Amino acid sequence: MDKFNRDLLVLFKEKSNPQAIEHEVELLHELLFYVEKIDNLVTVYEVININKYKISSNKKLVRETLGNKILKPFVFLNNKN
């Protein structure tokens, strides 16, 4: 598993040692690695296209839309959660 360079803010109720903090950050990184996979993302998003008056959960369309760097006007990605 590759390590990503990301900024995480980890808050603790009690003062912790650096090893505990590093362990928590590693666990968060591992969790985010699996959650951010494209197969998981296409399951939880839908595409809302106001131009065509359509809402689609088609995995192929969601995957293509997620791959676009710039969305067309009035095309939205909506999280189903």
Q: What is the pLDDT of residues 30-48, one digit of tens each?
A: 888 888 888 988 999 999 9
pLDDT on residue 1: 56
pTM of the model: 0.66
Ranges of each domain in the chain? 1-36, 45-79
pLDDT-derived band at 61 (thresholds 50, 70, 90) equals: very high
Pick the most confident of 10-19, 21-30, 32-41, 59-68: 59-68
Over the chain, what is the mean pLDDT? 88
SS3 state of residue 77: strand
pLDDT for 2 equals 60
| CA dist., res. 38 & res. 40, Å (int) | 5
Return the closest-CA partner of residue 41 out of 50, 28, 52, 32.
32
> Residue 35 is encoded by which pair of tokens?
């959650």
